[in-house]
């Protein structure tokens, strides 16, 4: 079956999109409860959010460790939501907003693919409703006020050597990882080292996605630690008197965005923290609103279950008081063969032996989800090169682990291709056998929480800490921030901190090289391996193939 490109499908669908007011009405929102951005996008008013209480049932979509072969996690999330709607369920899909870095880099957008997309795809993948721009402005306002404070006398006694607040932009740019700022004479301010993080790694993004309302947003912003004094006392955004203006910039960005799937169903697209350097989940506000508007909410967590699902359970569900009742684990034959040692160029060749070897990665994620007390179904996302024997091999393996599994063909068939997975999800929900519980006690010491994740989720024998990391953790606990969840920052490609170790490695130790507190977000970040908070572009970035034709048609956007 020949399927057009994602952008071709999206552009064809945009000609017959439902008015956004009709999409809103499907979930009980009146015309007065939406703020339209044109005819096909809208934000939900604060009044509409405040008067609704979540009563729906929450389903997480996660996956195996990603590979260059692609797994299609966003595609499955949207496709299964379309399937559940076909099956007569009132369903809302809640996903993250795409970052321009991956859109113009290698990974591409985050609006799904094939016949399982949210639309208007091009607008969602680009400027959308301006949320990322608002986050960028609020973040950099704090940077500007910090440097301005030091220039005008530094009454708070900030040590220029211990500034921890970076600047941000939403683009992959390795040149901004480390630099010197304030050159230019006496009026430029104190010369100091500076760095940029990408917007999905900004603490402001994390705060926006974890805040429950404007008051909570401002309180969290006030708690941001921007640096230390010479005697190592924390200085906050509240002390710089920046929280009010930053909250103003974020006022509209706090409101969830309503769009539609290719089949006309409602989708809330809001927030976009990366799963490898941040907590990788859409906003609590959007998820709770979805649970108030629909009977079932499908939401996605970033990258594999070792990062996205763990952070969803241990960070987002704690702060949001959420109770996930089921999970979908997305896998593909192609990716599992890569975990079994097959090179990307050979993935089209049947290889059951390599597939069986790579199945250990899927099994690890199935077992990990079970540790949180959440029943799971494996969605085996079909590719055209998959053989019946390969597909059956995966399904049989899932059965041997006591896990449900079903084929997903949403890329080629949309909602129709997700009905088998959808029925498995409904069976899990009907059985009501889940009993969600976080992995660790949040009041444990920071190192104990890190080791619980490393041993219990990654399969490590233990954790080694650099002197820098040990000192940082000691200081964080000394400042009173030890009783928070831990946000692990590591490679998404492996269960270890080494991207080259695929499958299910054993006999390894995780190395934590540094740690810092995101006091406003409410968690401690532990950096493992060589993970970067500002990515770089590849040798051949996707941006090279994107263009706009004379009639406005876009080419090369995925």
CATH number for 6-129+253-430 (one of 3.30.1330.200, 3.30.980.10, 3.40.50.300, 3.20.20.70): it is 3.40.50.300
**pLDDT band with cut points at 50, 70 and 90 for residue 477:** very high
Mean pLDDT of 26-45: 96
The predicted structure's pLDDT at residue 4 = 84
CATH ID of 131-250, from 3.30.450.20, 3.30.1510.10, 2.60.40.740, 3.90.1300.10: 3.30.1510.10
Multiple choice CATH, 446-528, 3.10.410.10, 3.30.565.10, 1.20.1730.10, 2.60.90.10: 3.10.410.10
| pLDDT of amino acid 558 | 67
| Average pLDDT of the segment spanning 299-322 | 96
| 395-429 pLDDT per residue, tens | 999 999 989 999 999 999 999 999 999 999 999 99
User: 111 with 119: CB under 8 angstroms?
Assistant: yes
pLDDT tens readout for residues 418-458:
999 999 999 999 998 889 999 999 999 999 999 999 999 99
Structure confidence by residue, pLDDT tens digits, 187-236: 887 899 999 999 999 999 999 999 999 999 999 999 999 999 999 999 99
pLDDT band at 186 (very low <50, low <70, confident <90, very high): confident
pLDDT for residue 95 is more than 90: yes
Return the closest-CA partner of residue 401 out of 426, 364, 371: 364
**Alpha carbon of 55 to those of 25, 49, 58, 543: distances in Å?**
18, 13, 9, 42
Tell me the domain boundaries of the chain: 6-129+253-430, 131-250, 446-528
Q: Which tokens is 461 given? A: 């024998």
Mean confidence (pLDDT) of the chain: 94
DSSP per residue, 112-135: EETTEEEESHHHHHTTTTSHHHHH
Kindly state the tokens that stand for 219. Answer: 């309180």
| C-alpha span between 67 and 62 (Å, rounded) | 14
Q: Is 92 helix (H, G, I), strand (E, B) or coil?
A: strand
Name the CA radius of gyration of the chain, rounded: 23
Binning pLDDT at 50, 70 and 90, where does residue 331 land? very high
Q: How is the beta sheet containing 234-236 ordered, strand by strand?
A: 158-163, 225-229, 234-236
**DSSP state letters, 425-451:** HHHHHHHT------SS-TTS-HHHHHH
């Amino acid at each position: 079956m020949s399927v057009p490109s994602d952008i071709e499908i999206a552009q064809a669908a945009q000609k017959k999109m439902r008015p956004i007011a009709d999409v809103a009405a499907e979930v009980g929102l009146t015309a007065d409860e939406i703020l339209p951005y044109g005819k096909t996008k809208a934000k939900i008013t604060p009044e509409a959010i405040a008067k609704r209480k979540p009563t729906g049932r929450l389903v997480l979509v996660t996956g195996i460790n990603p590979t260059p072969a692609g797994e299609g996690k966003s595609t499955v999330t949207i496709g299964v939501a379309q399937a559940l709607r076909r099956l007569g369920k009132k369903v809302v899909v809640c996903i993250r907003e795409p970052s321009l870095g991956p859109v113009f880099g290698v990974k591409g957008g985050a609006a799904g693919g094939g016949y399982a997309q949210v639309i208007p795809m091009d607008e969602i993948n680009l400027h959308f409703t301006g949320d990322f721009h608002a986050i960028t402005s609020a973040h950099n306002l704090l940077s500007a006020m910090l440097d301005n404070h030091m220039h005008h006398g530094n009454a708070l006694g900030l040590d220029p050597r211990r500034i921890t607040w970076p600047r941000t932009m939403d683009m992959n740019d390795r040149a901004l990882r480390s630099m010197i700022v304030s050159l230019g004479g006496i009026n430029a301010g104190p010369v100091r080292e500076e760095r940029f993080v990408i917007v999905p790694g900004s603490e402001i993004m994390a705060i926006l996605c974890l805040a429950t309302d404007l008051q909570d947003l401002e309180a969290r912003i006030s708690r941001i630690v921007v640096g230390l004094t010479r005697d190592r006392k924390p200085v906050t955004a509240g002390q710089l008197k920046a929280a009010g203006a930053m909250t103003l910039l974020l006022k509209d960005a706090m409101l969830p965005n309503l769009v539609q799937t290719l089949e006309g169903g409602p989708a809330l697209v809001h927030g976009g923290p990366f799963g490898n350097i941040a907590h990788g989940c859409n906003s609590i506000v959007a998820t709770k609103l979805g649970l108030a508007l629909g009977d079932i909410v499908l939401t996605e967590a970033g990258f594999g279950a070792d990062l996205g699902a763990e952070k969803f359970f241990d960070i987002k569900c704690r702060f949001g008081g959420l109770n996930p009742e089921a999970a979908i684990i997305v896998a593909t034959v192609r990716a599992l063969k890569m975990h079994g040692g097959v090179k990307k160029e050979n993935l089209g060749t049947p290889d059951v032996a390599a597939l069986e070897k790579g199945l250990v990665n899927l099994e690890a994620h199935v077992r990990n989800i079970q540790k949180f007390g959440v029943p799971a179904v494996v969605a085996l996302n079909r590719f055209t090169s998959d053989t019946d024997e390969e597909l059956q091999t995966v399904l049989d393996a899932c059965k041997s682990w006591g896990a449900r599994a079903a084929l997903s063909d949403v890329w080629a068939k949309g909602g129709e291709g997700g009905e088998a997975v959808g029925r498995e999800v409904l069976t899990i929900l009907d059985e009501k056998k889940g009993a969600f519980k976080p992995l660790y006690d949040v009041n444990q010491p920071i190192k104990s929480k890190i080791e619980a994740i490393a041993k219990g989720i990654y399969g490590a024998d233990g954790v080694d800490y650099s002197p820098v990391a040990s000192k940082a953790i000691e200081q964080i606990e000394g400042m009173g921030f030890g009783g928070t969840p831990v946000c692990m920052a590591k490679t998404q490609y492996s269960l270890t901190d080494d991207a080259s170790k695929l499958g299910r490695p054993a006999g390894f130790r995780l190395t934590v090289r540094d740690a810092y507190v995101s006091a406003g977000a409410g968690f401690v970040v532990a950096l493992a391996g060589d993970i970067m908070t500002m990515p770089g572009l590849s040798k051949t970035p996707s941006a090279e193939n994107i263009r706009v034709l004379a009639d406005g048609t876009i080419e090369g956007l995925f």
